[in-house]
A and B are shown apart, each in its own frame.
Chain A
Amino acid sequence: QSALTQPASVSGSPGQPITISCTGTSSDVGSYNLVSWYQQHPGKAPKLMIYEGSKRPSGVSNRFSGSKSGNTASLTISGLQAEDEADYYCCSYAGSSTPVVFGGGTKLTVL
């Protein structure tokens, strides 16, 4: 199972929106609306930000949203804040025998 493809880095200024893409295949992202997104600050465990494509866990800011088109999922952060600077990973369900596949990660820099 190949990893999902994410840009290595994205950047934006405070207050601006940014979008991180996550490209898979018809076997994972394209077949299921079951993409999750994680935020990871240095030295910390990943934190769930979006699950099942577009749902936000309790306590996650509504500045974070998820969507999907075809084999590509996207995470959008509106109104960038300094504390959003972190690594972001997408993850997709890929079937019952190999249920979890991660993207390579994207480093978000807030300018």
Chain B
Amino acid sequence: QLQLQESGPGLVKPSETLSLTCTVSGGSISSSAYYWGWIRQPPGKGLEWIGSIYHSGSAYYNPSLKSRVTISVHTSKNQFSLNLSSVSAADTAVYYCARLAGYGDHGDYWGQGTLVTVSS
């Protein structure tokens, strides 16, 4: 059974960089059939796609976040990571990682999510 687990600091100071890692178990991140993505959800609000990456390193980002986001893949560790720079309180959210499948990049497996709060 595929499992994804987010990890990283739960508190980040304004203007600093938010860094999270998603560890994939029960399957290979190098599978040719899938992209791997980050999605976030501010408290009480809806879902927002942040970006997706293929095992080759090819990545796509939400245009509204593109200037601040970097997603990387680490195939030897079966992990992929998210860096979001220059954070503000508006970046406070639950951050999910997910496996994206099919032509429509639907998220068929999700991590449990991790709350990141931006505050001094």
Binds A, one of B11-19, B26-34, B46-54, B78-86: B46-54
A-B contact count (CB 8 A): 76
Please indicate which of the listed interface residues B47, B49, B101, B106 has the most CB atoms of chain A within 10 Å of its own CB: B106
A6 to B1, CA, bound (A): 33
**CB-nearest residue of chain A to B48:** A102
Nearest CB to that of A32 among chain B residues?
B104
CA distance A32 to B103 in the complex (A): 10
A89: nearest chain-B partner, CB-CB? B47
In the complex, chain A residues whose CB is within 8 Å of the CB of B96: 45-46
CB-CB under 8 A for A34 and B103, given A100-B52, A104-B46: yes
Separation of A3 and B46 alpha carbons in the complex (Å): 10
Taken together as a complex, chains A and B put the C-alpha atoms of A98 and B37 apart, in Å, by 12
Size of B's binding interface in residues, CB under 8 A = 26
- Total interface residues on A, CB under 8 Å, equals 28
Residues of B close to A1: CB separation below 8 A: 62-64
Contacts of A105 in B (CB 8 A): 46-47
Across the interface, do A102 and B46 meet the contact criterion of CB distance under 8 Å? yes
Q: Given that A1-B63, A105-B47 are known contacts, is A45 also in contact with B111, CB under 8 Å in the complex?
A: yes
Determine if A101 and B46 form an interchain contact, defined as CB atoms under 8 angstroms apart. Answer: no
Whether, in the assembled complex, A93 has its beta carbon less than 8 Å from a beta carbon of chain B, the answer is yes
Q: Are A45 and B110 in contact (CB under 8 A)?
A: yes
Some 12 contacts from A to B, beta carbons below 8 A apart, are: A34-B103, A34-B104, A35-B104, A38-B107, A91-B104, A96-B60, A97-B60, A99-B60, A99-B104, A101-B49, A102-B39, A105-B46
Extra A-B contacts (7), CB below 8 Å, given A36-B104, A48-B107, A52-B106: A32-B103, A34-B103, A34-B106, A45-B96, A98-B62, A99-B60, A102-B47
